[in-house]
């Protein structure tokens, strides 16, 4: 284990707020991963879709997922910055 | 009953006060019982602070077969040393529909077996070692942990302090009986033979009913037996009585339960009564068995406390062996004996006091009742929009729904709301307020979200009520643009309800959340498009300024109804196991996000339209 990670873990052990942030980060990362998979799945569907109506719906859903992922990544970056500041 | 209870309590208090005044030894025994009971309370509170977590998850998952349910009952009671807590939890879960009657009965049977471990522990170790020495550090660490703000640590503190008090209580009782040497001999007041057995069984029942704990009666019996104040045979009868008396807690717990909970409590009563009767009838056989097994297990001939523990185990085991094969028959009989009461459409169907015992059960019944409220509310919404709810729920395409808007104009939504929805809504809100006192963490968040969902449903009804008059009037307007605009508003709400209907069939959480977000995107687009549509209609003088203001206001109501329904569906139908707040807030789309997506999609589509397709390459 790297020294910085060890310090982070030790710090989190005594800091409730940091533990909360770490849990939040983990949940957010997991949610983003799920969204990424769903986005890939819908993109694959879109490539094989002929119906105009279904294509429109898939495009809309892909755009929603892209926006959500972008927002999530921004928040993830913010959480990382906060964690670094706490060290 | 209430009057009897009220009269009995002061009499018991007076008798107790007189006894304590007249005998210092009895004072010590009574103090031991009181400390022991306080320990039980602390222990129960400690385990309850973990409820909504491990215990309930295991209870829900490990009761799909009778064998597993039995094992759970044994393990949980061994761990918590309280069959009453396990029984009340089972009744609460059954009332919430989280487990079935068979599983509940299995847990209760297992809990009876589990109580026997307490007798073994006390008879085996508790009477030979100095328990107060063990109790002291437990009390010190327990109380230190109790002051911790963290709920889990405080829970562990309650458990430790509870165990400390249990040990201390047993020690007090032991000492009390030891100093009582010679001054009290119950055998002198006991009639011999069957009458004596029955009398001590009755004592056991009464003691357990008063102390609300068979465990306490058993400990008292064991300590009295060890000190020689009770004869062996009388102690056996007391143990049988304690087994029967313990059902009182479950029966009391079921008073606030629904039919399912009452059935389980009756099953519990029957099982323990039957076990008690069988133990009394087969007493000679059981005694013979105890003697032979004692020799095999190396229990000394004069070690009556361990023999009592063995007897307690044997007759409970016998009860389980007799009743388990009869479980289906017992279930059928209970179903017939306690039939389901028909509840009025206006009354809550799932909420019951017994579910309050466990936060998980409280969440489950609140969700079921809220889903019922959703059904009732959407029926009102559809009715208010001039559609037939039955047709809609059957899946009839919106365009083909028979139009009831002429008769719907006379539908008084306010009156229907008060008759059909308000009572249930109020009951849910009141239930949630009480349930949140016990709940914390995830369960508290889920209850808060369910309350929000119910509020959104009421907002949706209110929105339709505001919309109804103009909608049902203009939908038949001679002005085709107004008729079409209002038809569009109605269609929009119908689309949202249909989308929610489909979301309820989706298992994938990401997929269902995405479907609702997509519906939100479409709602936002409709809002933006209708703005420019109304402006166009005014500019071309196709509608009057008065019509335009009505349309703009009603468009707002329509938006509110759609958003409220989507939010309610988000809380009610997506991932029942965890609160929606657990999904990071940042991923929820705001107005600005939705608007940006719509603009980007519009741009993308217009680019695609203007772009000339590249010439196809020949093979």
Helix axes B2-22, B24-49, angle to 10 degrees: 130
The ipTM, to two decimals, is 0.84
Residue A14 pLDDT exceeds 70: no
Question: Is B207 in the same domain as B282?
Answer: yes
8 Å CB contact of A24 and B584: yes
Residue B191 pLDDT exceeds 70: no
Helix axes B24-49, B214-226, angle to 10 degrees: 140
Q: Would you say B377 and B424 are in contact if contact means Cβ atoms under 8 Å apart?
A: no
Range with lowest mean pLDDT among B126-135, B292-301, B479-488: B126-135
B235 domain residue, yes or no: yes
Residue B56 pLDDT exceeds 70: no
pLDDT per position as a tens digit, B440-463: 777 888 899 999 999 999 999 999
CA distances from B184 to B13, B179, B187 (A): 21, 10, 9
Q: Pick from B238, B256, B264: which is nearest to B107 by CA?
A: B264
Range with lowest mean pLDDT among B125-139, B235-249, B312-326, B515-529: B125-139
Residues of A in contact with B511 (CB under 8 A): 38
Q: Pick from B51, B65, B139, B147: which is nearest to B99 by CA?
A: B65
pLDDT per position as a tens digit, B252-278: 767 767 788 888 888 888 998 888 898
Q: Would you say B226 and B127 are in contact if contact means Cβ atoms under 8 Å apart?
A: yes
8 Å CB contact of A67 and B593: yes
Q: What value does the mean pLDDT of chain A take?
A: 82
Question: Is B399 in the same domain as B302?
Answer: no
Residues of A in contact with B601 (CB under 8 A): 59-60, 63
Both tokens of B380, joined, read 């009102």
CA distances from B530 to B484, B485, B486, B523, B554 (A): 12, 8, 11, 11, 11
The DSSP string of B362-425 is: HHHHHHHHHHHHHHHHHHHHHHHTT--HHHHHTT--GGGS---HHHHTT--HHHHIIIIIHHHH
**Across the interface, which of A27, A57, A64 has its CB nearest the CB of B584?**
A27
The ranges assigned to domains in chain A are 3-86
- Tell me chain A's radius of gyration from C-alpha atoms: 18
Amino acid B599: pLDDT:
86
Dihedrals phi, psi of B128, to nearest 5 degrees:
-100, -25
Residue A64's H or E segment, with its range, is helix A52-86
B350 domain residue, yes or no: no
Q: Would you say B214 and B242 are in contact if contact means Cβ atoms under 8 Å apart?
A: yes
**Across the interface, which of B586, B601, B604 has its CB nearest the CB of A71?**
B586
Residues of A in contact with B153 (CB under 8 A): none
Q: Pick from B19, B55, B260, B50: which is nearest to B154 by CA?
A: B50
The alpha helices in B417-544, defined as continuous H runs, are 422-438, 441-474, 480-503, 509-539
How many contacts (CB atoms, under 8 Å) link A and B? 51
Give B586 to chain A, closest Cα distance, Å. 6
Residues of B in contact with A60 (CB under 8 A): 518, 521-522, 597, 601
Question: Is B414 in the same domain as B557?
Answer: yes
Range with lowest mean pLDDT among B338-347, B351-360, B411-420, B450-459: B338-347
Dihedrals phi, psi of B151, to nearest 5 degrees:
-65, -35
Residue A68 pLDDT exceeds 80: yes
Question: Is B490 in the same domain as B380?
Answer: yes
Dihedrals phi, psi of B540, to nearest 5 degrees:
-85, 10
Give A55 to chain B, closest Cα distance, Å. 11
Question: Is B393 in the same domain as B303?
Answer: no
Report the C-alpha dihedral over residues B417, B419, B422, B426, rounded to 10 degrees.
180
Burial label for B300, CB within 10 Å (0-12, 13-18, 19+), is exposed
Cα angle for residues B301, B122, B194 (degrees, 5° grid)? 55
Residue B19's pLDDT band (cuts 50, 70, 90): confident
Amino acid B584: pLDDT:
57
Range with lowest mean pLDDT among B26-30, B365-369, B452-456, B493-497: B26-30
d(Cα B485, Cα B89) in Å, to the nearest integer?
55
For chain B, the domain total comes to 2
Q: Which residues contact B290 (CB under 8 A, 6 or more apart)?
A: B307, B310, B311, B314
Cα angle for residues A10, A13, A19 (degrees, 5° grid)? 115
Question: Is B558 in the same domain as B602?
Answer: yes
Q: Provide the 3-class DSSP secondary structure of residue A23.
A: helix
d(Cα B512, Cα B514) in Å, to the nearest integer?
5
What's CA B528's distance to the chain center, in Å? Answer: 45
Residue B185 pLDDT exceeds 70: no
8 Å CB contact of A28 and B521: no
Q: Which region holds residue B612: left if phi is over 0, alpha if psi is between -120 and 50, else beta?
A: beta
For B55, the domain range is 31-180+190-337
As a whole number of angstroms, the longest Cα–Cα distance in chain A is: 57
B374: domain CATH number is: 1.20.58
Residue A1 pLDDT exceeds 70: no
Question: Is B324 in the same domain as B417?
Answer: no
Amino acid B194: pLDDT:
78
Amino acid B618: pLDDT:
40
Give A33 to chain B, closest Cα distance, Å. 11
Residue B399: CA atoms inside 13 Å, Cβ hemisphere, count? Answer: 0
Q: Which residues contact B196 (CB under 8 A, 6 or more apart)?
A: B190, B233, B234, B237
d(Cα B77, Cα B592) in Å, to the nearest integer?
55
Residue B281 pLDDT exceeds 80: yes
Residue A48: CA atoms inside 13 Å, Cβ hemisphere, count? Answer: 5
Q: Would you say B457 and B373 are in contact if contact means Cβ atoms under 8 Å apart?
A: yes
Both tokens of B156, joined, read 């562990």
End-to-end Cα separation, chain B, in angstroms: 94
What's CA B395's distance to the chain center, in Å? Answer: 33
What is the rounded average pLDDT of the residues B398-419?
A: 78
pLDDT per position as a tens digit, B164-173: 888 888 778 7
Both tokens of B82, joined, read 């309280």
pLDDT per position as a tens digit, B367-385: 999 999 999 999 999 988 8
d(Cα B504, Cα B573) in Å, to the nearest integer?
6
Question: Is B208 in the same domain as B324?
Answer: yes
Question: Is B47 in the same domain as B82?
Answer: yes
Q: Which of the 8 DSSP states describes residue B345?
A: T
Question: Is B331 in the same domain as B369?
Answer: no
Q: Would you say B43 and B76 are in contact if contact means Cβ atoms under 8 Å apart?
A: no
8 Å CB contact of A28 and B589: no
Amino acid B610: pLDDT:
74
Residue located via tokens 């077969």: B65
d(Cα A72, Cα B255) in Å, to the nearest integer?
49
d(Cα B467, Cα B493) in Å, to the nearest integer?
11
pTM, two decimals, is: 0.71
Q: Which of the 8 DSSP states describes residue B53?
A: S
What is the rounded average pLDDT of the residues B174-187?
A: 63
B430 domain residue, yes or no: yes
Residues of A in contact with B592 (CB under 8 A): none
pLDDT per position as a tens digit, B476-486: 888 888 888 88
The alpha helices in B50-99, defined as continuous H runs, are 54-61, 66-80, 83-95
B616 domain residue, yes or no: no
User: Which of residues B276, B305, B337 is at a domain's end?
Assistant: B337
Residues of A in contact with B152 (CB under 8 A): none
Dihedrals phi, psi of B301, to nearest 5 degrees:
-60, -30
Q: Pick from B289, B266, B229, B257: which is nearest to B357 by CA?
A: B257
d(Cα B105, Cα B91) in Å, to the nearest integer?
10
Question: Is B371 in the same domain as B268?
Answer: no
Percent of chain B whose predicted confidence (pLDDT) is above 90: 12
Amino acid B619: pLDDT:
38
d(Cα B470, Cα B557) in Å, to the nearest integer?
11
Q: Would you say B126 and B117 are in contact if contact means Cβ atoms under 8 Å apart?
A: no
Q: What value does the mean pLDDT of chain B take?
A: 82
Residue A33 pLDDT exceeds 60: yes
Residue B184 pLDDT exceeds 80: no
The DSSP string of B508-574 is: -HHHHHHHHHHHHHHHHHHHHHHHHHHHHHHHTTSS-HHHHHHHHHHHHHHHHHHHHHHHHHHHHHS
d(Cα B348, Cα A4) in Å, to the nearest integer?
56
Question: Is B294 in the same domain as B368?
Answer: no
Residue B519 pLDDT exceeds 60: yes
Residue B4 pLDDT exceeds 80: no
CA distances from B399 to B473, B483, B527 (A): 19, 15, 21
Give A1 to chain B, closest Cα distance, Å. 29
Q: Give the chain B residue nearest A74 (alpha carbons).
A: B586
End-to-end Cα separation, chain A, in angstroms: 17
Q: Which residues contact B94 (CB under 8 A, 6 or more apart)?
A: B100, B101, B103, B104, B257, B260, B261, B263, B264
**Across the interface, which of A57, A60, A72 has its CB nearest the CB of B587?**
A72
Helix and strand element counts for chain B (H, E):
27, 0
């Amino acid at each position: 284990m790297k020294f910085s990670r060890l310090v982070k873990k030790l710090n989190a052990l005594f800091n409730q707020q940091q533990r909360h942030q770490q849990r939040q980060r983990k949940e957010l990362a997991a949610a983003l991963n799920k969204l990424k998979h769903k986005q890939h799945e819908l993109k694959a569907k879109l490539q094989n879709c002929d119906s105009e109506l279904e294509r429109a719906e898939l495009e809309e859903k892909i755009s929603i997922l892209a926006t959500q992922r972008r927002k999530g990544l921004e928040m993830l970056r913010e959480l990382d910055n906060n964690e670094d500041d706490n060290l | 009953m209430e009057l009897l209870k009220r009269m009995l309590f002061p009499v018991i208090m007076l008798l107790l006060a007189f006894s304590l005044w007249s005998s210092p030894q009895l004072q010590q025994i009574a103090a031991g019982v009181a400390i022991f009971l306080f320990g039980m309370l602390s222990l129960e509170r400690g385990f309850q602070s973990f409820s909504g977590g491990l215990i309930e998850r295991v209870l829900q998952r490990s009761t799909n077969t009778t064998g597993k349910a039995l094992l759970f009952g044994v393990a949980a009671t061994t761990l918590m040393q309280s069959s009453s807590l396990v029984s009340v939890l089972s009744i609460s879960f059954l009332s919430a529909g989280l487990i079935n009657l068979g599983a509940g009965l299995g847990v209760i049977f297992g809990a009876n077996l589990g109580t026997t471990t307490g007798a073994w522990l006390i008879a085996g170790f508790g009477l030979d070692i100095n328990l107060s020495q063990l109790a002291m550090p437990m009390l010190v660490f327990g109380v230190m942990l109790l002051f911790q703000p963290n709920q889990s640590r405080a829970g562990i503190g309650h458990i430790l302090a509870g165990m400390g008090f249990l040990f201390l209580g047993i020690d007090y009782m032991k000492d009390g009986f030891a100093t009582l040497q010679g001054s009290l001999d119950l055998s002198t007041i006991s009639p011999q033979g069957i009458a004596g057995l029955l009398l001590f069984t009755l004592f056991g029942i009464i003691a357990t009913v008063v102390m609300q704990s068979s465990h306490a009666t058993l400990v008292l019996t064991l300590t009295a037996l060890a000190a020689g104040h009770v004869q062996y045979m009388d102690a056996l009868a007391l143990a049988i009585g304690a087994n029967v008396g313990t059902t009182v807690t479950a029966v009391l717990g079921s008073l606030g339960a629904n039919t399912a909970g009452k059935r389980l409590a009756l099953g519990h009563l029957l099982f323990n009564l039957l076990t008690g009767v069988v133990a009394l009838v087969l007493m000679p056989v059981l005694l013979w068995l105890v003697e032979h097994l004692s020799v095999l297990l190396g229990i000394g001939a004069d070690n009556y406390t361990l023999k009592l523990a063995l007897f307690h185990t044997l007759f409970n085991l016998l009860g389980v062996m007799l009743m388990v094969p009869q479980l289906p028959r017992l279930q059928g009989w209970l179903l017939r004996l306690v039939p389901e009461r028909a509840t009025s459409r206006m009354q809550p169907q799932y909420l019951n006091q017994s579910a309050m015992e466990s936060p998980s059960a409280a969440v489950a019944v609140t969700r079921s009742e809220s889903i019922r409220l959703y059904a009732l509310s959407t029926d009102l919404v559809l009715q208010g929009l001039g559609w037939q709810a039955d047709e809609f729920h059957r899946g009839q395409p919106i365009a083909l729904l028979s139009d009831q808007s002429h008769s719907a104009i006379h539908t008084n939504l306010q009156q229907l709301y008060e008759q059909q929805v308000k009572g249930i809504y109020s009951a849910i809100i009141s239930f949630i307020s009480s349930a949140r006192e016990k709940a914390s963490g995830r369960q508290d968040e889920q209850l808060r979200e369910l309350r929000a969902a119910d509020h959104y449903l009421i907002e949706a009804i209110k929105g339709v009520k505001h919309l109804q008059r103009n909608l049902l009037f203009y939908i038949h307007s001679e002005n085709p643009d107004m008729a079409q605009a209002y038809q569009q508003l109605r269609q929009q709400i119908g689309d949202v309800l249909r989308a929610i209907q489909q979301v309820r069939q989706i298992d994938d959480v990401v997929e269902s959340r995405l479907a609702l977000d997509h519906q939100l995107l479409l709602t936002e687009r409709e809002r933006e498009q209708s703005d420019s549509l109304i402006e166009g209609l005014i500019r071309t003088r196709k509608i009057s300024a008065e019509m335009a203001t009505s349309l703009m206001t009603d468009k707002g109501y329509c938006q509110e109804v759609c958003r409220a329904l989507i939010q309610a569906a988000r809380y009610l139908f997506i991932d029942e196991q965890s609160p929606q707040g657990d999904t990071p807030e940042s991923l929820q789309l705001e107005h600005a996000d939705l608007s940006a997506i719509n603009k980007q999609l519009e741009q993308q589509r217009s680019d695609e339209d203007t772009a000339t397709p590249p010439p196809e390459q020949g093979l």
